Amino acid sequence: MPVAVEFDHVDFAYLHGQPVLRDVELTVEAREFVAIAGPNGGGKTTLLRLVLGLERPTRGAVRLFGEPAHRFSNRVVLGYLAQRSTLGVQAPATVRELVAAGRAARRPFGRLRHDDRRAIDEAIERVGLAALAKSPLTRLSGGQQQRAQIAKALAAEPKLLALDEPTTGVDVAAQEALAELLERLHRELGVTILYVSHEFGAVEQVVQRLVLVRERIVFDGSPEALPALWHDPSHAHA
């Protein structure tokens, strides 16, 4: 399979700060579904920011579909669901308007065409919000808002879908529904998924691979191979 993400002996530290990541080596193949977990402050969100080219490594190289991540040339194929605190769902927009904004990334200087409108409708249908397409985001539950944001990312037909702490602030039922949705999207669309969270219980049964980060990669394998002690990422040690 082609390589979607590659870390080659990567170190990272914020300006005048302590190292956040040390000597990270990681390869994610296209179409993989990978959970990246670890304690707060362990470097998992920084790792995701490096993947998306939002930060540059202090040492080493990060490549995205074969290109340096910070110079990746086709950013429209990157779907990013930020932490819920930064989603801005208080905006007076409907579900369809939000999802249309995701598709507009493919038409930055032109009007949406028939195939764009079809892609918007399909994205909303895939996440189970067709009946709420005209509803304001402010009237949706936390789990429904989360699905609308995923539909926004899907409307651009991404090759990679990155989710940062997607289960924050939603109940257990919504977490389980999200896991089922992501498993189905991965199966049907073949999109590469990076699921970043301080815990991984919601997706443990659906991900192909689990990566635990605490400055370094301290575990990389199937969830079944994870020692019982490590099912709480706060217990992970380098």
**DSSP at 77:** G
**Facing residues of 34 across strands?**
194, 209
Domain encompassing residue 230: 3-235
Mean pLDDT computed over 28-44: 93
**In the chain, how many domains are there?**
1
Report whether 61 contacts 102 (CB < 8 A): no
**Facing residues of 220 across strands?**
211
Give this prediction's pTM.
0.88
Q: How far is CA 93 from the centre of its chain?
A: 23
| Position 235 pLDDT exceeds 70 | no
Q: pLDDT tier at 189 (50, 70, 90 boundaries)?
A: very high
Q: pLDDT tier at 212 (50, 70, 90 boundaries)?
A: very high
Confidence at residue 161, expressed as pLDDT on a 0 to 100 scale: 96
**Quick count: other Cβ atoms within 10 Å of Cβ 76?**
15
Confidence at residue 6, expressed as pLDDT on a 0 to 100 scale: 98
Q: Using one digit for the tens of pLDDT, what is the confidence trace for 128-180?
A: 999 999 999 989 988 898 899 999 999 999 999 999 988 877 788 888 898 99
Confidence at residue 142, expressed as pLDDT on a 0 to 100 scale: 84
Of the candidates 11, 23, 156, 169, the residue with the CA atom closest to the CA atom of residue 80: 156
In whole angstroms, what is the distance from residue 6 CA to residue 51 CA? 8
Q: Using one digit for the tens of pLDDT, what is the confidence trace for 39-50?
A: 888 999 999 999
Q: Using one digit for the tens of pLDDT, what is the confidence trace for 49-107?
A: 999 999 999 999 999 999 999 999 999 899 998 876 444 555 678 999 999 998 988 87
Q: What is the CATH number of the domain that holds 110?
A: 3.40.50.300
| Angle value at C-alpha 75, between 221 and 44, nearest 5 degrees | 35
Q: pLDDT tier at 236 (50, 70, 90 boundaries)?
A: very low
Q: pLDDT tier at 238 (50, 70, 90 boundaries)?
A: very low
